[in-house]
Amino acid sequence: MLLSLITFLPLVFALLLLVIPSSQKCFIRWSALVFTIIEFGLSLFMLSKFEKGTAALQFVERIPWVPELGITYFLGIDGISLWLVILTTFLTPVIVAGSWSAINTKVKGFHISLLILETAMLGSFLAMDAILFYVFFELSLVPMYFMVGIWGGANRIYATIKFFIFTMVGSLMMLLAIIYLMYATHDTMGTFSASVLDFYELKIPFVAGDFMNPQTLLFFAFSLAFAIKVPMFPLHTWLPDAHVEAPTPGSVILAGVMLKMGTYGFMRFVIPLFPEAAEYWAWLFLFLGTIGIIYGALVAMVQPDIKKLVAYSSVSHMGYVMIGLFALNMFGVTGALYQMLNHGISTGALFLLVGMIYERTHSREISQYGGLAKAMPIYSILFIIVTMSSIAVPMTNGFIGEFLILLGTWQANKIFGALAVTGVVLGAAYMLWMVKRVFFGPAGPLVKDTHHPLHDVTLREMLVMAPLVVLIFWMGLFPNHFLDWSKPSIDHLVKTRDSYNLTETK
Amino acid sequence: MESAKPLIELVDLLAIAPMLAIFVLSLFPLMIKVFRGNRELNPYVTLFFALIGIGLATALTATLSGAKPRAYFNDAIVFDGFVPWASYLIYLVTAASLMMSIDHVTTRGRQFSEHVFLMMNSSVGMLVLVMANDLIVTFIGIEMMSLCLYILCAMSHEDTLSKEAAFKYFVLGSFASAIFLYGIALIYGTAGSTYLPDITQAIGPLLTTSRLFVVGLGLLILGFAFKVSIFPLHAWTPDVYHGAPTPVTAFMATAVKASTFIAFLRLFNSEGFLDADRFFTVLQWLAVLTMLVGNAAALFQDNLKRMLAYSSIAHSGYIMVGLIAGAFGDNYDAGATSVMFYLLSYTLMTLGTFALVAMLEKHENTVVSMSSIQGLARKYPVMALSLAILMLSLAGIPPTLGFFGKLFVFSAAIEQDMYWLVFWGVINSIISVYYYLYPVVKMYMSDEEPAEVMGNHMLTRFIVAATAILVVVMGIFSSPVLKAVQRSVVNLF
């Protein structure tokens, strides 16, 4: 019952918010904050009950849903999904607190969307039935679509429809692949099943070098869905649009959690379900991932808009996650999982910080700033700490993740390893250059504007940033506090990739 | 000669008791009106009579549905698993359309009892069509249904488009009926019977040997295709759906499709199609083109009713996918189940969306365009949310009924390895997302002030909200629905 409770509690809270009159903005914000903190506490309770030393699925719940097609309501958690669930429940209260002044219209609708989105995201990480996963995966589009479309910027309609349709293209192909696998279980086991655990047992025929064979086609159907979500070059074009138009909290949740649904899909479905195809086509993903790293960094470098710069840095960072995954070795996959969490925290923090300055000046143009360090010292310190994390300076979380990924990629393929390292340099270049132009040098027009003096971060904003900064250092200094929980699962995934299966704890 | 057997027995009359109930009750308001010197009754009394008739028919169908499937009227009609399911759909649609009619400006006027009479008898025709076990009876059903519809389309007093729609529908519909009839003639000539089980038996051998039979079957299918607006006989749909009074459009778009597809399913319940590759190819491309034409044209519509008309063409294409999977594969039941499930989901979604359109029409000649619904969410949050849910369901977003409809149709086709067909289905689903999202954008995301004021139509509002709730609830609990469909498909004559 625990996982169901975690998944659907936000939905219940959303319904509770529904009865509060829309005019009580402050009350809605406070109740949403309390609700999401309760939810976070519940997930920590789950963490305390989580058994560390095993790769098996825990807290399993299984109820038939559409037994005619073998679809079950099947939830479970293991080392792969554990931290993503915690990340989601952790970021949501941060977002609620961070959107305190950013969202001023339709406050009630916004928080309801956010809570529904939380349910959908948690459901996707916890679902162990392919159709159930698909349901949550698609359902998460709807609140995000409203968030960008209602509270977004000037060009929001274009951005939100593009986001929706891009994701639909991939996920419908995945739906076909899931249906195919359901019939495959029917053929081998005699009964329909959409359970991922049963899918793992299937032996899907694979022909190396040929495109028209079941495993390769299924592999690409799933990969397309997740690669769009990640997003991997060249399917990333929806991301900058969505990020730029989305309101700050929308960007945080998009970068922080929703992109991870794609990389999580690779870890949960693509690699263990289609091991031969994943190994054979790994070069393609290493190649596109590396291009994504370098391309994302180069495009980020020339952005005049801070938010767009951060959006393109996401493309670059998610490229690291992709090459880590497709290095298909212990270091790479561990690094990828860690980098997923890091990216959630550091990019989420960057978007929050960009949002804070945007609220003050209503501009994100880099050229309008300069010398901000004098005007807003605490803000600048926070921004620079997060930048350090983003460019993977040692002692921050980013370093651990990128280092493991590069190590793994180097082991798997020296060329891509070397190319990926140049991405680190480029990453430092674009971030530090941006920091230099915004925070140092002569004061820009917006900073020296005496009619609208900039005030430094407020107490609320500090409280929003504090947990993120703490985590940046905590994860950078003691990675084992986090990785120990996931190690058995990652070990199991890497070592038994060709005959992957998952058991359930009793 | 077994002349001892009487022509009609009591059991026969019992089997058509639901139709009789509807027919008799539909006469009441009309007769009372005549005796009162052509003065219209209180419309709510008329509606009350109609709903009693439908309720009675529902009860009768429910009592009859327990029995074993068998044929009546010398095998002319059957009462089997298809019938209760389709009948309930027809009752639901008729009741809902009548409730919409009483609220709607074009239909509630001085001819309301005639309107009710025609609509109820159109549904009697649909019941005949659903139960028909003989092509002649099928034809009678189609004609009865259509003739009432032709008049219903023209019922709007001031709207010239209504007249145009009725005339177009009548001329083209008669043409389609002639084609259908010609098909029956050719089939009778070659197979020697109009009795449906005989024909489905004969399909296997005759498809390869008799070219005339193939032509006859093709014409028959074209006749059906016209009624459910399958490419290339879809062109009338947008004009007629647009011109007809909206409650009538809702009725046409849902009940006609449901009943005609059931008749379609009966015809295709034959093993003879198993290796009919050429038929398969042709029908497959008709399905693909239907989806493509419907979705592509819907992209460019500003008029909400026309957009929904094109979307209904596209949905016919999706239903065709399930139909083809059932007919040309080795698992007829799975195909038929998916079609029947889809019909339910399509009916609910379409009914709800047209009901909302009906509410926006304040006078005859109103055109409900995309700008009519802008900012609707601010003024009518419940209605806007309902329409958003219905639109997402039409687009097939889980966990709504529309998603499960598509899931079952696609999985029936994948079971038969019809990947090409499913591929096009998916491509079309993606295209359709764009235009289904557009009304949602208009309602929620536009900054302009709400353009339209809705009438205070309680019954119509109820329909919109109820369909939206049903679409979600039946989606989440789709298993019992699916089970019910599967049970009825197993129970065929």
Is the pLDDT higher at B147 or at B370? B147
A69·B430 Cβ contact <8 A: no
| Residue range A274-286, pLDDT digits in tens | 998 999 999 999 9
DSSP state of A440: S
CB contact under 8 A, B422 and A176: yes
Asked whether the beta carbons of A488 and A79 are under 8 A apart, the reply is yes
Check CB contact under 8 Å for A179 and B434. Answer: no
DSSP, residue by residue, B120-181: HHHHHHHHHHHHB-BHHHHHHHHHHHHHHHHHHHTT-SS-HHHHHHHHHHHHHHHHHHHHHH
d(CA A134, CA A125): 11
Residue A170 with chain B: CB contacts under 8 Å: none
For the cut 80, the answer to whether the pLDDT of residue B452 exceeds it is no
Q: Which residues of A touch B (CB under 8 A)?
A: 64-69, 131, 134-135, 138-139, 141-142, 145-146, 149-150, 156-157, 160-161, 164-165, 168-169, 172-173, 175-176, 179-180, 182-183
pLDDT in tens, B110-139: 788 888 999 999 999 999 999 998 999 999
CA distance B451 to chain A (A): 18
DSSP 3-state assignment of A321?
helix
pLDDT at B164: 86
**How close is the nearest chain B Cα to the Cα of A161, in Å?**
7
Residue B277 Cα distances to A332, B207, B273, B282, B308, angstroms: 51, 11, 8, 9, 33
Question: What tokens were used for A74?
Answer: 């099947």
The tokens for A223 are: 């990969």
Flag if A141 and B483 touch (Cβ within 8 Å): no
Q: What is the average pLDDT value for chain B, to the nearest integer? A: 88
Q: Nearest chain B Cα to A150, which residue?
A: B445
Of the candidates A131, A165, A183, the beta carbon closest to that of B433 is on A165
ipTM of the complex: 0.90
Full-model pTM: 0.92
Closest CA to B463 of B49, B25, B43, B103: B103
Q: Please report, rounded to a whole number, the percentage of residues in chain A having pLDDT higher than 70.
A: 100
Q: d(Cα B312, Cα B304) in Å, to the nearest integer? A: 12
Q: Which of A239, A10, A227, A234 is nearest to A122 (CA)?
A: A10
Helix intervals (H) in B192-276 = 196-209, 211-227, 236-243, 246-251, 257-267
Closest residue of chain A to B388, computed from CA coordinates = A142
Encode B56-79: b = buried (16+ Cβ within 10 Å), e = exposed. Answer: bbbebbeebbeeeeebbbebbbbb
Mean pLDDT confidence for A312-320: 91
Do residue A182 and residue B411 have CB atoms under 8 angstroms apart? yes
Instruction: Look at B426 and A146 and tell me if their CB atoms are within 8 Å.
Output: no
CA-nearest residue to B435 within chain A is A161
Scanning every residue of chain B, which has its alpha carbon at the shortest distance from the alpha carbon of A174?
B426
Mutate to test the interface with A, among B416, B437, B438, B442 (most CBs of A within 10 A): B437
List the structure tokens of B76.
């002319």
Cβ–Cβ gap B397/A138 under 8 Å: yes
The candidate with the shortest Cα–Cα distance to B465, out of B371, B388, B403, B364, is B388
CB–CB contact A149 B441 (8 Å)? yes
Of A65, A157, A176, the CB nearest to B441: A157
Is A165–B430 a contact, with Cβ atoms under 8 angstroms apart? yes
Angstrom CA distances, A67 to A132, A334, B480, stand at 13, 36, 10
Q: Which among B387, B343, B168, B373 is positioned nearest to B255, based on CA atoms?
A: B343
Distance from CA of A275 to the nearest CA of B (A): 24
* Residues B426, A172: C-beta atoms closer than 8 Å: yes
Give the residue from A116, A129, A135, A156 with the most B CB atoms within 10 Å of its CB, the best one to mutate: A135
- pLDDT tens, position by position, A31-40: 999 999 999 9
How many CB pairs (< 8 A) connect A and B? 74
Closest-CA distance of chain B to residue A204, Å: 16
Reported as a pLDDT band with limits 50, 70 and 90, residue B348 is very high
Chain B residues within 8 A of A142 when measuring between CB atoms: 392, 397
Phi, psi of B166 (to 5 degrees): -60, -45
Is the confidence at residue B1, as pLDDT, over 50? no
Greatest mean pLDDT range, A217-221, B41-45, B331-335: A217-221
Give the model confidence (pLDDT) of A344-402 as tens digits.
999 999 999 999 988 888 888 888 888 888 888 899 999 999 999 998 888 899 899 99
Which chain A residues contact residue B422 at CB under 8 A?
Answer: 176
Taking 90 as the threshold, does the pLDDT of residue A102 lie above it?
no
- The pLDDT of residue B4 is 58
CB contact under 8 A, A142 and B479: no
- pLDDT > 90: what percent of chain B? 44
User: pLDDT for B47-62, tens place per residue?
Assistant: 999 999 999 999 999 9
d(CA A413, CA A416): 6
Inform me whether the pLDDT recorded for B270 exceeds 90: no
Residue of chain A whose alpha carbon sits nearest to that of B391:
A142
Radius of gyration over every alpha carbon of chain B, rounded to an integer in angstroms: 22
* Confidence (pLDDT) at B489: 83
Query: What span, in angstroms and rounded, lies between the C-alpha atoms of B346 and B402?
Result: 7
The pLDDT tens digits for A41-69 are 999 999 998 888 888 888 999 999 988 88
Cβ contact A193:A136 at 8 Å: no
Reply yes or no on whether the pLDDT at B236 is more than 70. yes
